[in-house]
């Protein structure tokens, strides 16, 4: 049974209509069985390899983090670094020119879809342009449906964790959460939430694993400069054994959906 005590409140909500692009803040989100509706609903696929384009392989795809994706009345619109806004269905050509690789749009995750994930330690040591063999990661292994999520339907992080790392709410987007929970502390409380039910507004989630971090938080995000300490601090202070990943720098929590509903900024958060 869910404990009635309030652990915190929803400080902010975010969704990312296109994989590895900047997302959109929301006052409320609808959470269905497959996760946040409209989240990671599109991705661009590398024509050469057939793999999902993601800034987890920064040498090839870091420029995606200079693009943003917003949901409007007529669908998702991609804004390029120069300011041009294009319907996502028409963006592949311009993105191919920008990235220097031919890509095409996908609107549903194919079975067995994979991405390339660079080791954050190697990226920190050798830089984002260094060439080394990335690890292949199958997307959405803990998520039903066709969204291009890395592992789980929902991703959350606490303000205490963000403050401990030294980024705070101002740079929370580096970690690409759906839900930011304002709690008084301690930091990295999310490490203890796998298997725990979490009531967020009208939604019940269950923690799966702490969120292992790649090099993405260290990269430029729109106007935000590179920040190696966004992961370096975690390497030193919060390495956690994560099934399938081994000892990993972690911040946040991957969660599955127990019961669907709506969540809004300001809603109570209760941890069982």
pLDDT tens string 64-100 = 999 999 999 999 999 999 999 999 999 999 999 999 9
Kindly tell me if the per-residue pLDDT of 184 is higher than 90.
no
- Within 10 A of 122 (CB to CB), how many other CB atoms are there? 14
Quote the CA–CA distance of 39 and 37 in Å, as a whole number: 6
**pTM for this model (two decimals):** 0.94
Give the confidence band of 22 by pLDDT, cuts at 50, 70, 90: very high
Kindly tell me if the per-residue pLDDT of 2 is higher than 60.
no
Considering Cα of 101, then 106, then 112, then 116, what sign does the dihedral take?
positive
User: Cβ neighbours of residue 48 under 8 Å, at least 6 residues apart?
Assistant: 101, 102
Kindly tell me if the per-residue pLDDT of 35 is higher than 50.
yes
Rounded to the nearest integer, the mean pLDDT of the chain is 94
Residue ranges of domains in the chain: 8-271
Per-residue CA distances from 239 to 59, 142, 181, 235, 248 (Å): 25, 21, 21, 6, 5
Quote the CA–CA distance of 104 and 254 in Å, as a whole number: 28
User: Cβ neighbours of residue 37 under 8 Å, at least 6 residues apart?
Assistant: 29, 30, 31
* CATH among 2.40.33.20, 3.50.50.60, 2.102.10.10, 3.40.50.1970 for 8-271: 2.40.33.20
- Count CA within 13 A, CB hemisphere, residue 125: 8
Look at strands 154-158 and 179-182 and give their pairing.
Answer: parallel
pLDDT at position 130 is 82
Quote the CA–CA distance of 217 and 243 in Å, as a whole number: 21
Question: Which of 122-136, 157-171, 200-214, 230-244 shows the lowest per-residue confidence on average (mean pLDDT)?
Answer: 122-136
Quote the CA–CA distance of 261 and 7 in Å, as a whole number: 19
Quote the CA–CA distance of 22 and 177 in Å, as a whole number: 11
Mean per-residue pLDDT, 125-146:
89
- Within 10 A of 266 (CB to CB), how many other CB atoms are there? 12
Give the confidence band of 1 by pLDDT, cuts at 50, 70, 90: very low
C-alpha 185: how far from chain center = 22
C-alpha 134: how far from chain center = 19
Quote the CA–CA distance of 147 and 43 in Å, as a whole number: 9
Question: Which of 83-87, 113-117, 118-122, 145-149 shows the lowest per-residue confidence on average (mean pLDDT)?
Answer: 118-122
pLDDT at position 4 is 53
Partners of residue 210 on adjacent β-strands? 253
Cβ density class 181-219: b for 16+ within 10 Å, e for less: bbbeeebbbbbebbeebbbbbebbbbbbbbbbbbbbbbb
The 3-state DSSP class for residue 67 equals coil
What tokens were used for 45?
């696929």
pLDDT, tens digit, for every residue of 240-268? 999 988 999 999 999 999 999 999 999 99
């Amino acid at each position: 049974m869910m404990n009635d005590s309030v652990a915190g409140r929803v400080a902010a909500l975010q969704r990312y209509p296109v994989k590895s692009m900047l997302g959109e803040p929301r006052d409320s989100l609808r959470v269905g069985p497959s996760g946040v509706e409209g989240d990671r609903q599109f991705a661009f696929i590398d024509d050469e390899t057939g793999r999902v384009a993601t800034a987890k392989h920064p040498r090839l795809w870091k420029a995606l983090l200079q693009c943003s994706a917003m949901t409007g009345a007529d669908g998702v619109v991609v804004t390029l670094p120069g300011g041009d806004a294009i319907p996502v269905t028409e963006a592949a050509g311009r993105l191919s020119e920008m990235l220097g690789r031919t890509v095409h749009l996908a609107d549903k995750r194919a079975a067995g879809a994979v991405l390339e994930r660079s080791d954050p330690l190697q990226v920190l040591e050798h830089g984002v342009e260094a060439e080394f063999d990335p690890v292949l990661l199958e997307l959405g292994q803990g998520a039903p449906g066709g969204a291009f999520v890395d592992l789980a339907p929902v991703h959350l992080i606490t303000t205490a964790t963000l403050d401990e790392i030294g980024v705070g709410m101002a740079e929370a987007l580096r970690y690409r959460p759906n839900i930011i929970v304002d709690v008084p502390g301690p930091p990295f409380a999310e490490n203890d939430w796998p298997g725990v039910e979490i009531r967020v507004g009208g939604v019940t989630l269950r923690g799966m694993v702490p969120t292992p971090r790649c090099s993405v938080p260290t990269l430029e995000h729109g106007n935000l400069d590179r920040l190696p300490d966004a992961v370096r601090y975690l390497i030193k202070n919060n390495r956690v054994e994560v099934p399938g990943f081994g000892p990993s720098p972690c911040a946040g929590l991957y969660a599955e959906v127990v019961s669907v509903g709506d969540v809004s900024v300001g809603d109570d958060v209760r941890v069982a």
